[in-house]
Each structure stands twice: as C-alpha cells, then as structure tokens.
Chains A and B, each alone.
Chain A
Amino acid sequence: MKKILIIVLTLFAYTSYSQKIEITPLDINSTKDDFNSSITQNSRIIYFTSERKGRQQYLYSTERTSTGWSIPVMLNREINSGDQVGAVTLTPDGQFMIFSAYNHPKEGQGRTDLYSARKIDGDWTAVRNLGPIINSEYWDSQPTVSSDGNTLYFSSDRPSGYGGTDIYVSRRTREGWSKLENLGPIINSPYDEMSPVIGFDNKSLTFSSNRPNGFGGFDIYFSKLNNNVFSIPKNAGEPINSKADEYYYYSLPNSKYAYFSSDRGGGSVGLDIYVAYPNPFESESVVLVSGIVTDALSKYPLGADITVTDLGSRVKVAEMKSDDMTGVYYVVLQPGRIYSITASKKGYVFYSDRIQIPADEAGHEETKDIQLYPLTQGNTRLLVFFDFDKSTLKDESIPELDRIVEFLRDNKDIKIQLEGHTDDVGTDDYNDRLSLGRANAVRDYLLSAGISGSRIKTTGFGKKKPLKKDTSEEAKALNRRVEMKIID
C-alpha cells in the first residue's frame, strides 16, 4: 500500500512539474534583433533594445493597451545618441534608468559604458555616465538594478575576471556606488556570463552563459541569493533554452509570466522577445504599493520626492519621484517588514505614513494615495512612535524627526504647533498630560538640533481628537500620535 502511495505521489509530482510551458513571440518583434525587455510600472510598459532601424541598437518603449502592445516608440535623442544604445534596466516606478551605450556623446570611460537618466516632466533627460567606479576602459554593459534601486549588477569584459565576460555588483552608498565586486566563481566561469537580471524579490538572479554542457550557444541559468551568497546556478533547461542563444530572462512580479530573448527562430529574424507561461522559475512574491500624489486643495497631480525606509533596519529601500505628469508612484516592498513612506515637495508640507507588510501578505498590490498640503495652510501627521503609556521617543522615530529638522531649516520663516494625542485608555487628565509630554518630547529633539524654541508651540489634546473612533488595537496605535500644524 505504501509503495502504491509513493508511486501515485511521484506520478502526481511529475505531472505537476511537467506542465507544458508555452513559448510565444511578442508581436512587437521586428525583422532585426529585439532583446532585453525591461518591464516597469506593474508590467504596463516594456523598454527594450532593437536594431530595427539598421545596424545600430536603440532603446524603444511600448505600452500595454486594451488591444495589445502599442507600436514601439524610440526614446528621445538625449538617450539614443551614439553608435549603440540599449541594454536598459529601470526602477519599478519607471522614473530612473541605467542603460549601456557605445560612443555616447556624454563623455565616457572607454568602450561601452553605463549611463543613468531620469524621467522629468514626462521625458527622459539628465543623462550621466556612471563614472570610473562602475565603468572601465573595457566593455561594461547590460545593467540590472534591484527593485529598491540600491544594488547594481552588470557584465564586463575587464581583464580582472574569471575569463570572457563576468558579472559584477556594486551597491549604492551615501557616497555613491561602492567599489565593484566580481560575483565570484559560483556565478562566473572561464566562459562568458552576461545579461544578468535580478528579480523583484532582490534574490533571484538569472543570467546567460555559454559555458559547456548547455543546450547550445548562450543558455539561461538561475541562482538565488541566500544570506548574501548565490546558490550554484542551474541551467533553465528546455523549452526555455534551445540550440540557439537565450538572453535576459525576466520574471514579472507576482505573475506566472516571464520574458526572455532568443534567436531560436519561430519569431522574426534575429533575436526576438518571447513570453514563457507558466514561468517555471518565478521569483518570490512581493508587495506592490502604488498611488498618486496630489495637491490636497487643487487635486492636481504632483511630482514629489518619495522615500521609503525600512523602519527595522533604518535603511532607505527606495528613493524615487512620482511622475511629474500623472503623480503616480510605484514601489516594491518585501513582506514581513514595517516601512515609513514619506513624500516631500518644495512649497508643501511633507507627508509621512507607516506601511506594515505582514509576512503572509506577499503577492498582493496596495494602493496608497498621498495628498500634500501647501505650506501656507498645511498640517501633517508626524511618524513618531511611543510605547503605550510612554512619552519617550522610540529609535525608529529618528528619520522622521530629522525630516522635521530639515523642513524647518529649509523654511526659516515658518512657525509650527506640535499637537500630542493619545488613545482612549485612561482618564482625561492623565491623557492630557501624556499627550503634551509627547509633543514636548518632539519639541526637545528639535531644540537639540538647533531649532529656535520661539518657532515651536506645543499642546496636548489627550484622547479628545482621535483619528479613528473605535477600540481596536489598530485604532489605538493610529491615535497615539503627534501632529504638526503650520501656524505662521
């Protein structure tokens, strides 16, 4: 009986595993090379490299419409200048890109270099060479940036590697990009490793290699980052790989679709972009948070600076700008973490809020629209934290307090009132004193940072002005707060 059960389970497992993977060419492919699909804004826009205009590679974008992908459009001349331009990676919000270019008019470090660009007022601009820490006199290309924008992987044929082209990594620090590290012999080989793609989970790495024992040419390999060490890469096997070349395996977040490039035939001529479904190598699920930043009074969309900080580690996991034209922002967060999200724009009172992503909430999307008040009549809830029945500031409040200091330094004529509040536990008198103590704790921090006391008033409202009128723990946590109001 036990043997029969094992056989049945084995057959079931085999049947599940061998679910047929459909490989379909995208209808945006041309008769020339099309590759490197980089997908942003919740899979709404694809940026890719194409040789459709001749023998020069350029960057194109296409947008999902109700009838399919729109006709690809070349990016502007500020990006598409030089002999070869392409191999792009974008942050998930679609506002920042790093691309590769050979002989770009912006001064470079040598042969093909990496460049960054930002989307401002709906157009790509501010092209910058990533500089000598990243670029070399050799071929540096094919960047991929983690969803928090803090880790950059790319391929280079500089001679310091393990042979051929190798994959390197650099991390963003306060001083800029860190010194390059070769990903080491687990990932790199004496052959060519290229087209790295880091998944939205910031752990799943795919790349191409022409190392022996593959299916022919360049094959896709998978590896996973665990405790800062990449696992031994596995060949993706058929039907992802073929006798032809495969590059750029890109898993969509929280989806069973993946995109990759191949010259296997069956599409058009040269390299084409294909869709694989179901994706046999999904990256771990993430939480996609998006929203629109608007003026609280006029309701017009705003391009605001948005910072997301992991309150546990105090590491900024995303620094971005909402779209100047639509106000849309988009960020990828990991489950099981608590984040602060802040938005600021000159002439407005900054906004802060807390996002808690439970560990079991991966794979869903959350909407958080943000309204910014003009300085003249603004108020905002401060993201400062107190333990129950305490008026002592907790450590995770420090980033927010520093933000207030910066705000008051930038706006020297402004006077504020700090208003403390409590939950509904305890007597009125006690809560009045506690709420005032909380406001004073914030005031003391500002004074210690050199802000004049004449600019700050404090008051305590106790439990009289709850944000949420119920007795749940969530409501209580929300009501234990300090608000900042502009009074002059």
Chain B
Amino acid sequence: MKIINVLFIIFFLINISFAREDVLRPKGKFYHDDDYRRKITLGVEAGLNYNMFNQNMTWNELFLHGSIFDPLTTAQGVSPCIGAMIDVPLDNTFGIQLKLAYDVKNFSRSSTGSDYDLSGVAHDMILEVSAKSAYFTITPLLRINASENLFFTIGPTIHTIVGPIETTWKPEVSDGTSLNSFAYFNYLGFGAASRGSVTLSTDDANSIEKPNSPRIGLEGGIGYKFNLSSNVFLVPQVRLQLMFTPITNDTELVDINDNTILQTTDRMLSSLQLALALWFEF
C-alpha cells in the first residue's frame, strides 16, 4: 500500500512539473500520461543511397603504371536502403530519433586507358570495377522543428558491416591481346591474376583489404511531414551521411606485370540518401 502511495505521489509530482501557465489557465494544464504516448512516433521507410567513394592512390615513380587505373580514385553508385525509427519529442521544437536501417552501399567506376604486359608493351583497354557492401546502421538524431511540418535532423551514425565487401573487375583489352595476367590490386605481392572478370572478396584469406567496422560518421537531413490523417504522415527526407572512417584499411600492393608499387589510402565512402517514410504518431 505504501508503494502505491509513493507511486501516486511521484505521478502527481511529475504532472505538477508539467502544469505550466497558459493563456487559458492561470495554473496551467495537467498533461496526462496518454498525452505523452500520443506524441511518440514510429516510422518505417525505404529509400535510395547515392554513394560517393574516393581514395588516394600513390604510385611508385620509379616504375611505369598503366593509365587504366588512374580514374579509380573516385566511384559512384545508387543502392537501396530500408529502415525503421522511433521519435520521442522533448518539447515543441526538439525531439530525439533513433533510426535503425539496412543500408546497401554499392558503387562502380568504368575507365579507359592502357596497361603494360610482362614485356612492357602497353595495350589499350576498358576496365569496369564495381564494389558491393551492406551495413546495419544505428543513427541517434536530434530533431529540430523549423515549422509545424518542416524539420531538420542531425546526429552521429554508426555503420556495422554485414558480410564482405566484394569487388568485381572486368578488364577488356581492345586489340584482343590476352594478357597473361592482369593485376588486381587487392592482393599482397603478386596481385590477382586472371584473363577475364573476377570477383574478389574481403573475406578471402589472401586479401590484404579488411573492412573497417564499425564506421563512424555524421548524418544531417531535412524532412517534411505531409498529413495523411490526424496521426499518419508521409515524410520525404533528404540526408547526407558524411563518414569519417575509411571502408577498409590502407594497403600497399605490387603489380606483377610491371612491378609497380601502389599505395591506396583514405578510402572514404559517404552517401546522399533520399528516403520516403510513413510515420505513425501515438
């Protein structure tokens, strides 16, 4: 019985603390528990990532290297994402959101140029490189209402990789020459050798590339709530995920065709995200 009394007093004190004077009631309005519940929002969303990859590539100047690799400092790609979120208001302007998402991060690059064979002869070629990865993301956000419907969000985002990063290389020599071995620079020392397309995985025991996980970044966005009914909203959002952790460790590798040494560093992957959410206010 004493516990019930204590609980009642605590409940009363909590209510008193929210009874704030307003223009209708000099002693304020008592907000009840169901008022709080009504304001919590749950949402589901689906969207697209526009992924932006870039890295530094440093070649050993003592050796020749094929021009085909030069454009690979940047790559872009579009891939889907789905997620769910909960929003708890702090007051009329601010709220806290927690967003959980499954984020596919694919990107690719096509280049034209040349590479050298073991005899030092250059061959014109086309190269297509594409990478696939997926992350489970946790993003706590501060929501700031700019108006009744327009809001901004900002907060850290944590990306944990789901599975390996797979990179597919598709070289095609224009003159039909079949190079003995084409170097794919994610293997230490010898590089990978293949005459055609190959898919390399960071799960491979020989891979010197290891994904960084979790990756940390900052997410900022803007959204607009369209009322579908009194407590259901359609919410288009635009967000920028600016990641500070590279997707893999830095690597150094050797092209066995011409003994060129390549260092790749700061392999960063950020995304512009377009999402359409359905929010339910309870």
Chain A residues within CB distance 8 Å of chain B: 30-31, 33, 35-36, 49, 52-57, 74, 83-87, 100-102, 111-112, 138-139, 141-142, 157, 165, 194-195, 247, 268, 271
Residue of B whose beta carbon sits closest to that of A59: B23
B interface residue numbers (CB < 8 A to A)? 18, 20-24, 26, 31, 38-39, 89, 91-92, 147-148, 230-231
Grouping DSSP codes into helix (H, G, I), strand (E, B) and loop, the B interface class, with mixed when no group exceeds half, is: loop
Contact of B21 among A33, A102, A247 (CB under 8 A): A102
The answer to whether B230 touches A31, judged by C-beta atoms less than 8 angstroms apart, is yes
Q: Is the CB of B21 within 8 A of A139?
A: yes
**12 more A-B contacts (CB under 8 A) besides A52-B148, A85-B23?**
A31-B231, A35-B24, A54-B39, A55-B91, A57-B22, A57-B23, A74-B148, A84-B23, A86-B23, A111-B21, A268-B230, A271-B24
Distance in angstroms from B34 CB to nearest chain A CB is 10
A30 CB to closest chain B CB, in angstroms?
8
In the complex, which residues of chain B have a beta carbon less than 8 angstroms from the beta carbon of A74? 147-148
Q: Name the A residues within 8 Å of B31 (CB-CB).
A: 55
Instruction: Report the minimum CB–CB distance from A137 to chain B (whole Å).
Output: 13
B206 to chain A, nearest CB (A): 58
B227: min CB distance to chain A, Å: 10
Minimal Cβ-Cβ distance residue in B for A261: B24
Rounded to whole Å, the gap between the CB of A163 and the closest CB of chain B is: 13
B216 shortest CB reach to chain A, Å: 32
> Which residues of A lie under 8 Å from residue B20 when comparing CB positions?
55, 83-84
A56-B26 in contact (CB<8A): no
Q: Are A139 and B92 in contact (CB under 8 A)?
A: no
Chain A residues with Cβ under 8 A from B23's Cβ? 36, 49, 57, 84-87, 100-102, 112, 141-142
Q: Which residues of B contact A83 (CB under 8 A)?
A: 20
Q: Nearest Cβ distance between residue B25 and chain A, in whole angstroms?
A: 9
Q: A31-B231, A55-B31, A74-B148 are in contact. Are A102 and B22 (CB under 8 A)?
A: yes
Q: Which residues of B contact A112 (CB under 8 A)?
A: 21-23, 26
A-B residue pairs, 6 tightest by C-beta: A54-B92, A139-B26, A87-B23, A100-B23, A84-B22, A86-B23
- Closest residue of chain B to A157 (Cβ to Cβ) is B26
B97 to chain A, nearest CB (A): 16
Give the shortest distance, in Å, between A49 (CB) and chain B (any CB). Answer: 6
Check A87/B24 contact, CB under 8 A, given A31-B230, A31-B231, A52-B148: yes
CA distance A165 to B27 in the complex (A): 11
Report the Cα distance A53→B95, complex, angstroms.
13
Q: Does B148 contact A53, Cβ atoms closer than 8 Å?
A: yes
Q: B31 — nearest CB in chain A belongs to which residue?
A: A55
Q: How far is the CB of B50 from chain A (nearest CB, A)?
A: 33
Beta-carbon contact of A247 and B92 below 8 Å: no
> Which one, A55, A102, A157, contacts B92 given CB within 8 A?
A55
Give min CB distance, B40 to chain A, whole Å. 13
**Which of B20, B21, B39, B147 has the most chain A CB atoms inside 10 A of its CB?**
B21
> Nearest residue in B to A245 (C-beta to C-beta)?
B24
Q: Are B24 and A49 in touch, CB under 8 angstroms?
A: yes
Q: Give every chain B residue within 8 A of A268 (Cβ-Cβ).
A: 230
Chain B residues within an 8 Å CB radius of A100: 23
Given the known interface contacts A55-B31, A74-B148, A141-B26, the answer about A84 and B21 at a Cβ–Cβ threshold of 8 Å is yes
Q: Please state if A54 and B89 are interface contacts (CB–CB under 8 Å).
A: yes
For A31, the chain B residues whose CB sits under 8 A away are: 38, 230-231
Residues of A within 8 A of B39 (CB): 54
- Give the docked Cα–Cα distance between A52 and B231 (Å): 12
In Å, the complex CA distance between A56 and B18 comes to 12
Q: List 14 A-B contacts (CB under 8 A).
A: A31-B231, A33-B24, A35-B24, A53-B92, A54-B91, A55-B18, A84-B23, A111-B26, A141-B23, A141-B26, A157-B26, A195-B24, A247-B24, A271-B24
CA–CA, A55 to B91, complex, Å?
A: 8
Question: What's the Cα separation between A247 and B38 when bound, in Å?
Answer: 25
Report Cα–Cα, A177/B75, bound state, in Å.
72
- With a cutoff of 8 Å between Cβ atoms, the chain A residues found around residue B21 in the complex are 84, 102, 111-112, 139
**Distance A57 CA – B28 CA, assembled complex (angstroms):** 12
CB-CB nearest in chain A for B93: A54
Could you tell me the distance in whole angstroms from the C-beta of B128 to the nearest C-beta in chain A?
Answer: 52
In the bound assembly, the distance between CA atoms of A165 and B26 in angstroms comes to 8
**Chain A positions within 8 Å of B92 at CB level:** 53-56
- Interfacial chain B residues near A271, Cβ < 8 Å: 24
Docked complex Cα distance between A52 and B39 (Å): 11
Chain A residue, CB-CB nearest to B89: A54
User: CA of A157 to CA of B26 in the docked complex: distance in angstroms?
Assistant: 7
Give the distance to chain B from A396, nearest Cβ to Cβ, in Å. 43
| Chain A residue contacts of B26, Cβ below 8 A | 111-112, 138-139, 141, 157, 165
Can you name the residue of chain B whose Cβ is closest to the Cβ of A99? B23
User: What residues of B have a CB within 8 angstroms of the CB of A53 in the complex?
Assistant: 92, 148
Query: What's the minimum C-beta distance from B7 to chain A, rounded to whole angstroms?
Result: 24
Residues of B within 8 A of A165 (CB): 26
Closest to B34 in A: A269
Q: Smallest distance from the beta carbon of A78 to chain B beta carbons, Å?
A: 15
- Tell me how far the C-beta of A485 lies from the nearest C-beta in chain B, rounded to whole angstroms: 53
Complex Cα spacing A441 to B230, Å:
70
